[in-house]
Amino acid sequence: MLNDTLFIGADALPALAEIVAGRTVSQVFVLVDANTSRQCLPLLTALLPAGFHLLEIPAGEEFKTLSSCETVWTALTEQSADRHTLLVNLGGGVVTDLGGFAAAVYKRGIRFVQVPTTLLAQVDASVGGKTGVDFMGFKNQLGVFQEPAAVCIEPRFLQTLDPRQLKSGYAEVVKHWLIADAEAFNRNHSIGVLGIEDWTPIIEESVALKRRIVEQDPLESGLRKLLNFGHTVGHALESYLLQQPGREILHGEAVAAGMVCEAWLSQQKGLLSTGELDSIETFLFSVFEKVQFVSLETEAIAQFALQDKKNSGSIINCTLLEGIGRGVYDQPVTLTEIAEALRYYHRL
């Protein structure tokens, strides 16, 4: 246990069992997707009260929509769920983001518990109170800040993931190192993701780093923007490819590409040394395959950055690096610079 609402490892599932059995809980709903229903729900079933309600949505980023929220709200309404209802979100970032948003909106807010099952959700998406869904092709365009009643992180769920999903989550771990922990980057960057047998220490370290930042800036008015390193370009790339059937990529794959692009922008602006850029690129390409797009698409991809949530008016604000382990936020970049960064990535 890290505090009274965040549980990692052996304490996680017992804490969940205690929460769902609370005297003030009127009904328990469990939100899953097609994958976690099959692979993860069996670990929870014995902990849940008799008569809990199971809600299932299809798996995949393309289902992180208001339509899926309507499925949740309809089920809650049909079962006469009141404001003492508890929603347990069992899944990766799509389930925890969408479930948290649905809970925050239903009857102006019901309690929810995040039970993240992917590495990405365990180190990033489920922690910090961000909830939301995609809208009109833009990532997390709709959402609210709403802290869950608890986050219960059970590393055993990672055994259900294939290597590609593990790597996707690892991108967020690396992001945390690059913005705030040079020592961890230097200690770990020679270890391939598949060589990690026990993820618990990495999860604890990464979550602790994120929580330190979030506690100082819960509503992302300043310091929390550091956590968006790699995401201005990454979200643009992810959103663009999500609209190209058959070319969709995972969030972490987009963030890894975004980190290369934004590290290059940092170097171009004199914030990051060439040697540091090379070190970051070498490590990221040792883990992640290159995201494929053609040079002629770079301007179209860059246009998606105009919807980035860190922007101020017409100014695109980016998080860059002043060095490995030192992020700096609210750095203005232009569409031309983003397109140039994408072309640089394409040439590598």
Q: Which CATH class is domain 163-347?
A: mainly alpha
Cβ atoms of 30 and 88 within 8 Å: the answer is yes
pLDDT at 2 (0 to 100): 46
Of 192, 117, 121, which Cα lies nearest the Cα of 159? Answer: 117
Q: Please, which residues have CB within 8 angstroms of residue 192's CB and are 6 or more apart in sequence?
A: 286, 287
Q: Where in the chain is the domain with CATH 1.20.1090.10?
A: 163-347
Mean pLDDT throughout 126-154?
94
How many other CB atoms are there within 10 angstroms of residue 330's CB atom?
13
Q: What is the pTM assigned to this prediction?
A: 0.92
CA distance 81 to 232: 38
Query: What integer pLDDT is reported at residue 332 of this predicted model?
Result: 96
Q: Where in the chain is the domain with CATH 3.40.50.1970?
A: 6-160
Amino acid 1: pLDDT: 41
Q: What is the pLDDT of residue 190?
A: 66
**Residues 6 or more apart whose Cβ sits within 8 Å of residue 27:** 52, 53, 79, 81, 82, 84, 85, 86
Residue labelled with tokens 């055993």: 156
Mean pLDDT of 242-271: 97
Q: Which residue has the tokens 């949505």?
A: 57
> Phi, psi (5° rounding) for residue 303?
-60, -30
User: In the prediction, which pLDDT does 183 show?
Assistant: 94
Work out the percent of the chain whose per-residue pLDDT is above 70: 97
pLDDT digits (tens, 9 = 90+) for 94-125: 999 999 999 999 999 999 999 999 999 999 98
Task: State the SS3 of the chain.
Answer: CCCCCEEEHHHHHHHHHHHHCCCCCCCEEEEEEHHHHHHCHHHHHHHCCCCCEEEEECCCHHHCCHHHHHHHHHHHHHCCCCCCCEEEEEECHHHHHHHHHHHHHHHHCCEEEEEECCHHHHHHHCCCCEEEEEECCEEEEEEEECCCCEEEECHHHHHHCCHHHHHHHHHHHHHHHHHHCHHHHHHHCCCCHHHCCCCHHHHHHHHHHHHHHHHHCCCCCCHHHHHHCCHHHHHHHHHHHHCCCCCCCCHHHHHHHHHHHHHHHHHHCCCCCHHHHHHHHHHHHHHCCCCCCCHHHHHHHHHHHHHCCCCECCEEEEEEEEECCEEEEEEEECHHHHHHHHHHHHHC
**Contact call for residues 103 and 81 (beta carbons, < 8 A):** no
- Given this model, what pLDDT does residue 272 score? 98
Q: From the CB of residue 222, how many other CB atoms can be counted at a distance below 10 Å?
A: 11
The residue type at 184:
A
Q: What is the pLDDT of residue 3?
A: 60
Phi first, then psi, for residue 213 (nearest 5°) are -70, -45
Q: What is the mean pLDDT of residues 161-176?
A: 94
What does the pLDDT look like over 272-318, one tens digit per residue? Answer: 999 999 999 999 999 999 999 999 999 999 999 999 888 887 789 99
* pLDDT number for residue 115: 98
CA distances from 72 to 95, 97, 142 (A): 11, 13, 16
Mean pLDDT over all residues of the chain?
Answer: 94
Question: Could you tell me how many residues make up the chain?
Answer: 348
- Name which of 113-117, 133-137, 149-153, 186-190 the model is least confident about: 186-190
Please give the class, per CATH, of domain 6-160: alpha beta
The predicted pLDDT at position 194 comes to 62
Arithmetic mean of pLDDT, 334-342? 97
Q: What is the CA radius of gyration of the chain?
A: 20
- Residue 150, strand partner residues: 113
Q: Measuring CA to CA, which residue among 199, 223, 196 is closest to residue 211?
A: 223
Q: 130-135 and 138-145: which strand pairing?
A: antiparallel
Q: Is pLDDT above 50 for 45?
A: yes
Nearest Cα residue to 178 out of 308, 284, 265: 284
